[in-house]
Amino acid sequence: MMNWRVSPMRGQPMEPGGRTPSIFGLLHLKISNQLAILYSRYGPTWRLLRRNLTAEILNPSGVKSYSRARERVLQILQNRLESQAKSGRPVFVMEHFRYAMFCLLVLMCFGDKLDENQIKKIEEVEHQLLVNLQKFSILNFCPRVTKIVLRKRWEEFFRLLKCQEDVLIPFIRERKKGKEKRSREPNMEDSKDENVLSYVDTLLDLQLPGENRKLNELEIVSLSSEFLSAGTDTTTTALQWIMENLVKYPQIQEKLFMEIKGVVRDGEENIKEDDLQQLPYLKAIILEGLRRHPPFHFVFPHAVIEDVVVGEYVIPKEAAIVINAAEMGWDLKVWEDPMSFNPSRFLNKEGETFDMTGRREIKMMPFGVGRRICPGYALSMLHLDYFVANLVSKFEWKAVDGDDVDLSEEQEFTMVMKNPLQAQLSLRSK
Ligand code: HEM
């Protein structure tokens, strides 16, 4: 087994025979590395921060404490879809899905008491940063020169960062105030909401080793923004692909609905989080969706820490390597009829859950594998389970009349649907 180390650089796939990437590849690496630095206000502390993210907020009990937030966001999403469905017109679901996934992360990041207006303010500023990413990437190119020739663009860039600070810093200060109050008055009768640990709380606690200091506000702004953007588009894309396949294959949707009906509690409309474990077919559908349509076709670049030989390839120390995760999930030697959407391939008689972490074997890796696996892996699996189950429980999803469901892909930040999903939704009778 190889020794992996994440390089913070984006890279090009290694060429056969262990040659290093071409000069264009190296240039690309350099530019992208600088882009990452430009967008982040913190230094090389990412290793520690990642550990913090996994240990504090994305661990099973951290994730569980947000079940009320999930219920609230599900309600918002279902209401939005219901009012559109009632118009009888096809519903374009992508924006609704993205908003719901974004809300979930905002509530985890800044605390679950935020109202919709506050969430919308955060969404607007984060959206502006995301859509302007391309435009600002040129600023990495010889900043000394671009600071003169592209002065206006630099100003615009700083204006946008300032807007982001103006929006996010008050939320960070609010969390800080709450924490200080709790430590001053430990026996204070706190409402349950205030006690839910937020990502910002964990960042406020963090002590940077070696530097003997805590993170400053601007660093927390960057990290919060990264948390929101890393988790929104990825889960939205996966959710959309899965729902698209349920529209394309009504018999799979029907089988799932029958399974769901068996576990909805009396008098309840929605599936409870605790009941998701009783839905093996749902889990198989999520896994099949991630295998067939992984949101990232390539995992982030990694580097080996010593020369290694893999098959006929020599990978020299420090070379950036990029793994094509999508092809791995479509490998004919491993998967039967890999391009078909067949959730049953994940149903095994022994009831064993499929391992995606790479501990046992690696047959697919939509989240990467090993110690650099996506820290949001378990959270997004839960979000996918919960939202797919409840969206199918509440609505019947059908193709728009005469529409041949189109599975063409398009590369954006993730591999999205070229023609975003639109569906005819009808409320299931209670
Ligand atoms: C379906 C949803 C998601 C998919 C498919 C996905 C996939 C990935 C992949 C492939 C990587 C790179 C792993 C590697 O380096 O080999 C990654 C990294 C990362 N993901 Fe996710 N992700 C998802 C959701 C999330 C969520 C919900 C969060 C946070 C709340 C998140 C946070 C991150 C972060 C912070 C990293 C960088 C980790 C590092 O630098 O070591 N992801 N993700």
**Rounded Cα–Cα distance for residues 193 and 50 (Å):** 25
Ligand 1 interacting residues, C-beta cut-off 6 A: 6, 50, 105, 227, 230-231, 234-235, 238, 295-296, 299-300, 366-368, 372, 374-376, 379-380
Query: pLDDT (tens digit, 9 = 90+) per residue, 67-105?
Result: 899 999 999 999 999 999 898 899 999 999 999 999 999
Per-residue burial over 68-103, b if 16 or more Cβ lie within 10 Å, else e, is ebbebbbeebbebbeebbeeeebbebbebbbbbbbb
Q: What is the mean pLDDT of residues 177-183?
A: 86
Task: Please tell me the predicted confidence (pLDDT) of residue 252.
Answer: 98
Ligand 1 pocket: which of 198, 228, 234, 415 to mutate (most atoms within 8 A of CB): 234
Share of the chain above pLDDT 90, in %: 47
Q: State in Å: Cα 210 to ligand 1 middle.
A: 27
Task: Please tell me the predicted confidence (pLDDT) of residue 139.
Answer: 81
Taking the alpha carbons at both ends of the chain, their separation in whole angstroms is: 53
User: Which ligand 1 atom is nearest residue 372's CA?
Assistant: 41
CA distances to 33, 197, 215, 265 from 261, in Å: 49, 34, 48, 9
Query: pLDDT (tens digit, 9 = 90+) per residue, 331-341?
Result: 999 999 999 99
The answer to whether 170 touches 162, Cβ cutoff 8 Å, is: no
Asked whether the ipTM of the predicted complex exceeds the cut of 0.95, the reply is: yes
Task: Please tell me the predicted confidence (pLDDT) of residue 59.
Answer: 78
Q: What is the mean pLDDT of residues 190-213?
A: 77
Q: What is the mean pLDDT of residues 338-348?
A: 94
Q: What is the mean pLDDT of residues 134-159?
A: 84
Q: Which residue has the tokens 């950036």?
A: 320
The answer to whether 256 touches 285, Cβ cutoff 8 Å, is: yes
Task: Average the pLDDT over each of 35-44, 168-177, 196-205, 344-353 and give the range with the smallest value.
Answer: 35-44
Q: Please give the mean pLDDT across all residues of the chain.
A: 83
**Rounded Cα–Cα distance for residues 397 and 248 (Å):** 9
**Rounded Cα–Cα distance for residues 60 and 37 (Å):** 31
Question: Is residue 54 very low, low, confident or very high in pLDDT (cuts 50, 70, 90)?
Answer: low
Walk across the sheet containing 395-398 and list its strands.
91-92, 422-427, 395-398
DSSP string, 99-139: HHHHHHHHHHHH-TT--HHHHHHHHHHHHHHHHTHHHHHGG
**Residue 323 pLDDT more than 90?**
no
**Rounded Cα–Cα distance for residues 262 and 275 (Å):** 10
Ligand 1 pocket: which of 367, 373, 377 to mutate (most atoms within 8 A of CB): 367
**Residue 12 pLDDT more than 70?**
no
Task: Please tell me the predicted confidence (pLDDT) of residue 314.
Answer: 84
User: Which ligand 1 atom is nearest residue 323's CA?
Assistant: 16
| Torsion of Cα atoms, 367 then 369 then 375 then 379, to 10° | 50
**Residue 9 pLDDT more than 50?**
no
Q: State in Å: Cα 242 to ligand 1 middle.
A: 18
Q: State in Å: Cα 296 to ligand 1 middle.
A: 9
Ligand 1 pocket: which of 39, 109, 374, 416 to mutate (most atoms within 8 A of CB): 374
CA distances to 13, 123, 138, 218, 286 from 332, in Å: 22, 41, 41, 48, 20
Query: pLDDT (tens digit, 9 = 90+) per residue, 218-261?
Result: 989 988 998 898 889 999 999 999 999 999 999 999 999 999 99
Among residues 46, 105, 38, the alpha carbon closest in space to that of 300 is found at 46
Question: Is residue 47 very low, low, confident or very high in pLDDT (cuts 50, 70, 90)?
Answer: low
